Amino acid sequence: MNVWHFISSHRAEILTATREHLTLVVISMVIAVAVAVPLGLALVTHPRLRSSALALASVFQTIPSLALFGFLIPLPFLGGIGMRTAIVALVLYAILPILRNTYVGLTGIDPAILEAAEAMGMTEQQILFRVRLPLATSFILAGIRTATVITIGVATIAAAIGAGGLGTFIFRGVAMVSDAVILAGAIPAALLALLADFLLGLLERRLRIA
Amino acid sequence: MTETIIEFRDVEYRIDIRASHPILSGVSLKIHQGETVALLGRSGSGKTTMLKLINRLRNCTAGDLLVEGKSIGDWDPIRLRRRIGYVIQEVGLFPHFTIEQNVGLVPRLENWPTDRFYSRYCEVMQMVGLSGEQYATKYPRELSGGQRQRVGVARALAADPAILLMDEPFGALDPVTRAELQQEFLSLEHRVSKTVVIVTHDLREALLLGTRVVLLDSGRIVAEASSKEFLKLDQPVAREFIAASELVPGAAK
């Protein structure tokens, strides 16, 4: 079966899957950013938590994605079949790149700038929010960009636990041994990833401070 | 002019209480209102540390340090630092702030009335020989090294502090720009009558800018003299400095 023929005849279905996919990614990224960025800020003022927080975030990264989805299914509240479980897993994956970049960005500031800020009588909070955070913005965005691209890819596996999205076509295609069906899911997913990478890259460059 | 504004009383500083070698020990020094004291010494002599004790970027581990008659431990560090201007060699301008925002930072932190920001900004920029209007919306990266250092000085002066601490302020500049800024600093000193403590490893600079030179060696004050008397000192470390800077003994500035 011809790929383009399949895609054009299933346009509506593919569009719906793409929308589901995007919903999964956007919700997951919003939650991941809301968790990882404040956590990164907290690590600057509580350096003792740093290694354990980064280690915990790394552990989630090492669990194979399919296994993580599987582990989450039996859990109460977070688990089950469907979108909610998928979002939990995607958030766990996205946290590490954002957290790591946030922390590196916040702590990798020219010591002379921090010394000047301290000597001018800025409080720790003021230094964090008025100096460190704005100077770390492009770093944080780079982390969000990496995490988004990863999440778009991993989200295809969410179809395995009934969360929908473009993975639906991929799993169906694997079952049917049909390249055309696999590609009907894989091509839009790849395009989404490229588009997200491009747009976030644009934003990152815009916000970079020379 | 003889009122003491900063007083070191047998001050000691160690990075770690258990460390065997203190960075500073037995340091006693009175700094009077309106004078410019140059702390001279080799790298690692403790001169920068001595400066950082004054605005509590470091805390003395023994002895006492009085600023405006009040023990350093009784000062709220934030309040203390906002009353003391600080200039460093690397300048440390905030790259994400415009020149106006950089200079106006302490007045803003101190909640000055908004209408005073800009006039004060223009005033201090003029003091360091820059047009406030021309630079207001520029960012530090658009400035040359000399201009950045001038802005650094303007920023330190913005909230009109009584004390100005300067750590090798002109060390990173080319010789011509450095000489230019030193001259401007001298004329500025006459106009604003601040108490200035300046750290340098350059005897010429110490003699040129300081009304008094305090020589440090391995964490101790080894000599102290007015800049006119310094070249007559017999103290060995002082002689080394004099010999190394190729200044003819007795021929002060």
> Any bridge partners for residue B7, and if so which?
B30, B66
Asked if A206 has any chain B CB less than 8 Å from its own CB, the reply is no
A52-111 residues touching B, CB cutoff 8 A: 110
Tell me the per-residue pLDDT of A176-200, one tens digit each, with 9 for 90 and over. 999 999 999 999 999 999 999 999 9
pLDDT above 70: percentage of residues in chain B:
96
Tell me the per-residue pLDDT of A84-125, one tens digit each, with 9 for 90 and over. 899 999 999 999 999 999 999 999 999 999 999 999 999 999
pLDDT above 90: percentage of residues in chain B:
81
The per-residue pLDDT for B248 is 56
Asked if A113 has any chain B CB less than 8 Å from its own CB, the reply is yes
- Residues B29 and B214: their CA atoms lie apart, in Å, by 9
For residue B1, is pLDDT > 80?
A: no
The per-residue pLDDT for A76 is 80
Closest CA to A151 of A65, A39, A44, A59: A65
Tell me the per-residue pLDDT of A10-43, one tens digit each, with 9 for 90 and over. 999 999 999 999 999 999 999 999 999 999 999 9
For chain A, domains (ranges, CATH) are 3-207 (1.10.3720.10)
Q: How many CB pairs under 8 A join A and B?
A: 59
For residue B246, is pLDDT > 70?
A: yes
Query: A33 to each of A40, A88, A90, how far by Cα in Å?
Result: 10, 13, 12
Q: Which residues contact B28 (CB under 8 A, 6 or more apart)?
A: B8, B9, B10, B11, B63, B221
Q: Cβ contact (<8 Å) for A119 and B81?
A: yes
Q: How confident is the model at residue B251 (pLDDT cuts 50, 70, 90)?
A: very low
How many residues are given for chain B?
253
Tell me the per-residue pLDDT of A34-88, one tens digit each, with 9 for 90 and over. 999 999 999 999 988 888 988 888 888 888 888 888 888 888 877 778 888 999 9
Q: Which residues of A139-170 are buried (b: 16+ CB within 10 A; e: fewer)?
A: bbbbbbbbbbbbbbbbbbbbbbbebbbbbbbb
For residue A1, is pLDDT > 70?
A: no
**How close B8 gets to chain A, by Cα (Å)?**
19
For residue A209, is pLDDT > 70?
A: no
For chain B, domains (ranges, CATH) are 1-83+165-253 (3.40.50.300), 91-161 (no CATH)
Asked if A117 has any chain B CB less than 8 Å from its own CB, the reply is yes
For residue A165, is pLDDT > 50?
A: yes
pLDDT above 90: percentage of residues in chain A:
70
For residue B135, is pLDDT > 50?
A: yes
Average confidence (pLDDT) over B100-127? 92
Average confidence (pLDDT) over B176-181? 91
DSSP A48: G
Average confidence (pLDDT) over B60-77? 94
Interface-testing mutation among B90, B163, B167, with chain A (most A C-beta atoms within 10 A): B90
Average confidence (pLDDT) over B168-188? 91
For residue B168, is pLDDT > 70?
A: yes
- Residues A7 and A185: their CA atoms lie apart, in Å, by 9
For residue B8, is pLDDT > 60?
A: yes
Asked if B19 has any chain A CB less than 8 Å from its own CB, the reply is no
**How close B90 gets to chain A, by Cα (Å)?**
6
**How close A208 gets to chain B, by Cα (Å)?**
10
For residue B253, is pLDDT > 50?
A: no
Please, what is the average pLDDT of chain B? 91
Q: Cβ contact (<8 Å) for A113 and B86?
A: no
The per-residue pLDDT for B20 is 75
Q: Cβ contact (<8 Å) for A131 and B94?
A: yes
